[in-house]
Chain A
Amino acid sequence: QVQLQESGPGLVKSSQTLSLTCTVSGVSITTDGYYWNWIRQHPQKGLEWIGYIYNTRHPYYSLSLESRVTISVDTSNNRFSLKLTSVTAADTAVYYCARDNGGNEHAFGIWGPGAMVTVSS
């Protein structure tokens, strides 16, 4: 079955760049028709969609984060990545990678377990 797993540093210094990777197993990330997403959850709070990449080449970002976010795909290792620049304490959160259901259903059917990232001063 399809599984996702986030990885990356759990601690990032303020003003630096947060980098996370989501390794995909059970399906090729180049399979047509799927959106590969990043979503975050601030401590004790709700969820926030960060962005996705579609068909390995077409990213789309949340308007509130688009000036600082890059999502890219590494097809040789079947994974996709998130980079968030100029981080502050407000970027402290659990970061999830997620795949949609396909078929333009606009629902996140498969999630990784999440990676906690703390921004320190």
Chain B
Amino acid sequence: QSALTQPASVSASAGQSITVSCTGTSNDVGTYDFVSWYQQHPDKAPKLIIYENTRRPSGLSSRFSGSKSGNTASLTISGLQPDDEADYFCCSYAGPGTSLYVFGTGTKVTVL
């Protein structure tokens, strides 16, 4: 069960939009609608920002949105702000008989 593939880094200027991809397989992302995304600032615990592919936790900014097509999920951050600079990880449920949850390799988002 391999880690989901994410780009190592993505950067854009403040106010712009970025999209981070998360590529899995037909055994995880492609089968289950349980992709979640986490934001992690340095030396902090991850924070849930998207679950079930597209849903946002209560109170989270609508600048964060998620989508999924086939074996690839995506996180879009619009109107980039300095505090959005962080690491972002995706995670997919992989079903019974597996290690259940597989995380992505992580993407460093830099706000220029």
Contacts and interface: CB of A to CB of B under 8 A. Distances in A.
Interface of A: 45-49, 52, 60, 62-64, 96, 101, 105-109, 111-114
A46 B105 contact: yes
Contact of A49 (B47, B100, B104, B106): B100
19 contacts: A45-B106, A46-B103, A46-B104, A46-B105, A63-B98, A63-B99, A64-B99, A96-B45, A101-B48, A105-B51, A106-B32, A106-B93, A107-B36, A107-B51, A107-B52, A108-B38, A108-B46, A108-B91, A112-B45
B36 A108 contact: yes
Contacts of A109: 48, 51, 57
A106 B103 contact: no
Residue from B32, B47, B100, B103 with most neighbouring chain A CB atoms (10 Å)? B100
Nearest to B87: A46
Interface of B: 1, 3, 32, 34, 36, 38, 44-48, 51-52, 57, 89, 91, 93, 98-106
Given A49-B99, A106-B34, A111 B45 contact: yes
Nearest to B98: A63
A59 to B, nearest CB: 12
Contact of A62 (B46, B89, B100, B106): B100
A23 to B, nearest CB: 15
A105 to B, nearest CB: 5
B99 A106 contact: no
A46 B89 contact: yes
Contacts of B51: 101, 105-107, 109
Contacts of B57: 109
B80 to A, nearest CB: 23
Contacts of A101: 48, 51
B26 to A, nearest CB: 17
Nearest to B47: A111
Contact of B52 (A45, A52, A105): A105
